[in-house]
Chains A and B, each alone.
Chain A
Amino acid sequence: MFSIDKKISEWVSKGIINNTQAEAITTYENSKESKSWAIYGVLGLGAIVIAIGIISVIAANWELFPGYVKIINNFLLLIATAGATYYAFIKNKEVVFEALLLFFILLCLASIGLISQVYHTGGHLYQALLIWSVITFSVMMSTRHFLVAFIWVIGFFAGLSFLATEATFMDSVFLKSTRPIVLCFPYISAILALIFMKFPKYSAQKNAFWVYGLVSLVLGLFSFEVAYSGNLRSYGALTPIVPGAVLGGVAIVAAYFSQFFKRNRLVLISVIAVLYFIAFVSAFYFKVDKVIAAVLTILTLLALSLFLASYGYRKTFQFILSLVGIRFLVLYFQAFGGLAATGIGLIGSGLLIIFMVYLWVKYKERLTHLAEGALNE
Chain B
Amino acid sequence: MSKENKLKMALAIPILCLLLLVGYKKYILSYGHEVKLPIIGYDPRDLLSGQYLVYTIDYGVKVCSDKSGRKDAFVCLSNKTFAYNKSKNCKVFIKGECYRGRFSAGIEKYFIPEKRAKKLEDLIRDKKAHIILSVTKSGVAQIKELLIDNKPWSESF
Contacts and interface: CB of A to CB of B under 8 A. Distances in A.
Partners in one complex: yes
Interface of A: 59-61, 63, 71, 75, 78-79, 82, 85-86, 89-90, 104-105, 108, 111-112, 115, 117-123, 131, 134-136, 138-139, 141-142, 168, 171, 176
What 9 A-B pairs come out closest when comparing CB atoms? A63-B113, A122-B109, A138-B10, A135-B17, A82-B11, A120-B143, A61-B113, A135-B14, A119-B25
B1 interface: no
Contacts of A61: 51, 111-114
A60 B25 CA distance: 22
B25 A122 contact: no
Contacts of B21: 112, 115, 131
B107 interface: yes
5 contacts: A61-B111, A71-B22, A111-B18, A119-B143, A168-B70
Contacts of A75: 15, 18-19
B18 A135 contact: yes
A121 B52 CA distance: 11
B142 A121 contact: yes
Interface string B1-35: 00010111111111101110110010001000000
Interface SS of chain A: helix
A314 B15 CA distance: 42
B106 A121 contact: yes
Contacts of A136: 14
Nearest to B108: A122
B110 to A, nearest CB: 5
B121 interface: no
Contacts of B4: 86, 89-90
Given A115-B25, A120-B111, A142-B6, A108 B14 contact: yes
B86 interface: no
Contacts of A79: 15
A118 B113 CA distance: 11
A139 B111 contact: no
A86 B143 contact: no
A184 to B, nearest CB: 20
Contacts of A134: 17
B72 A168 contact: yes
Contacts of B8: 86
Nearest to B4: A90
A118 B143 CA distance: 10
Contacts of A118: 111
B98 to A, nearest CB: 9
Interface string B104-129: 10111111111110000000000000
A90 B7 CA distance: 10
B71 A168 contact: yes
Contacts of B104: 122
A135 B13 contact: yes
Contacts of B143: 119-120
A120 B10 contact: no
Nearest to A78: B15
Contacts of B70: 168, 171, 176
Contacts of A105: 14
B9 A138 contact: yes
A168 B143 CA distance: 23
Given A71-B22, A79-B15, A85-B7, 5 more contacts: A63-B114, A78-B15, A120-B107, A120-B109, A142-B6
A122 B107 contact: yes
A168 B15 CA distance: 29
Most chain B C-beta atoms within 10 Å of own C-beta, residue among A112, A121, A131, A141: A121
A89 B6 CA distance: 12
A122 B14 contact: no
A301 to B, nearest CB: 36
A79 B17 CA distance: 13
Contacts of A117: 111
